[in-house]
Amino acid sequence: MNAVLKVTIRDKWWAHTGKRVSVLQNIALQVAAGESLAVMGPSGVGKTTLLRLIAALDGHFEGEILVDQKPLTEPDGTIQMVFQDNRLFDWMTVRQNVLFVWDRPDAGNIRKADEWLFRMGLGERVDAYPRELSEGQKKRVALTRALVRPPRVLLLDEPLAGLDTPTADRIAADLRRIQREFGFACVVTTHNVMEAVTLCQAVLVLDGHPATTHGALTLGDVAHDSNLAAQAIGTVKDILVHDR
């Protein structure tokens, strides 16, 4: 595979009362251009921790993150992460939240932000504040901020969690369309099988303490090997088989 993103985590640990406690061990994943990988597993297993390592927001681990074969050591816009809680600035308008990605936005940046907001269905809300938006609209602002300078790798931490189904479906469809156009690699954490199926071509199941993986599975593999999947996501086989 011609991977845009190649990740090896040999060990990620936290210090708990002076003791080193491993949370992730021996994890390897790759994602090609235009593809999405779902990282699944129960709450607390280490999904967000893994995304933060990939985003270079946490350098305390043993392993490598390669983007287009080059090591990534600090956040530089090549990788964008959308946090589960969106991380919007309450005191900034929608447009200002998006413009925040530039140090000193110029007229061209403002035009670009407005174009993206329009395309993301927020054309009428550019001057609104986050508190005036629905949950789906807030997610769209966070996504716009991550996409306005299209990254090589997009990391989405439980992007559809807490959204009603029609809203989640519309956002998923828009994301798929934008990904087809721009060809970035995407990693999506979720504990929801339907999110994985809607957004991704392959699934990586994280499980155990420390969490490890059994290699990336295609949705077909998961559907045909319930043992692999059932450890972390009980009914995955039925859902995948019946919904594909």
Interface ranges with ligand ADP (CB under 6 A): 14, 23, 41, 43-49
Candidates 189, 209, 208, 211; CA nearest to 200 is 189
* Residue number, 36 or 48, with CB nearest to Mg ion: 48
* Residue number, 47 or 152, with CB nearest to Mg ion: 47
* Residue number, 43 or 73, with CB nearest to Mg ion: 43
Amino acid code (one letter) for 110: I
How many residues are listed for the chain in this entry? 244
Q: How far is the CB of 16 from ligand ADP (least distance, A)?
A: 7
Contact segment (CB under 5 A) with Mg ion among 47-55, 56-64, 75-83, 219-227 equals: 47-55
Expressed in angstroms, the distance from the first to the final Cα of the chain is 24
Q: How far is the CB of 242 from Mg ion (least distance, A)?
A: 27
Contact segment (CB under 5 A) with Mg ion among 48-56, 66-74, 126-134, 176-184 equals: 48-56
Among 30, 36, 48, 137, binds Mg ion (CB under 5 A): 48
Candidates 87, 91, 3; CA nearest to 48 is 87
Is residue 84 exposed (0-12), middle (13-18) or buried (19+ Cβ within 10 Å)? middle
Radius of gyration of the chain (CA): 18
Q: How far is the CB of 82 from ligand ADP (least distance, A)?
A: 14
